[in-house]
Amino acid sequence: MALSLSDPFCVERHRDAFRDLVDGHVDILFANETEICSLYETADFATAAAAVRGHVAIAALTRSAAGSVILADGAEHRIAAAPIARVVDTTGAGDLYASGFLYGLTRDRPLPTCVRLAVCALPK
């Protein structure tokens, strides 16, 4: 099962339920930096990333301009953000990221390629 944390305020309100889901019911977790930090009640991304390890098979964590961090099979993949000229509206960005990532994953692509699909930055 895949889960997107979707909203830090939702995580704040339902933290225990989300932690229960992540601990044993979710295979793939999508979260941005604010959401994963909220889930583990820390302001430090590295601490939150360490906390999610071992609870899900894949954690796809986005960090805005800092790119993505994918945690899977004991490995950590850091992928730079795709350059863009101007951000107009981020509504739906997480959903689009998840859909591109899952598209690549269901086609047995390597995890860094799944991220490139997620951000529409395919290598030439």
Q: SS3 of 67, please?
A: coil
- Does residue 71 contact residue 58 with C-beta atoms inside 8 Å? yes
- Does residue 98 contact residue 118 with C-beta atoms inside 8 Å? yes
Q: Which of 23, 73, 95, 108 is catalytic?
A: 95
DSSP character at residue 56: B
Is residue 23 part of the annotated active site? The answer reads no
Q: SS3 of 13, please?
A: helix
| Catalytic annotation, residues | 95
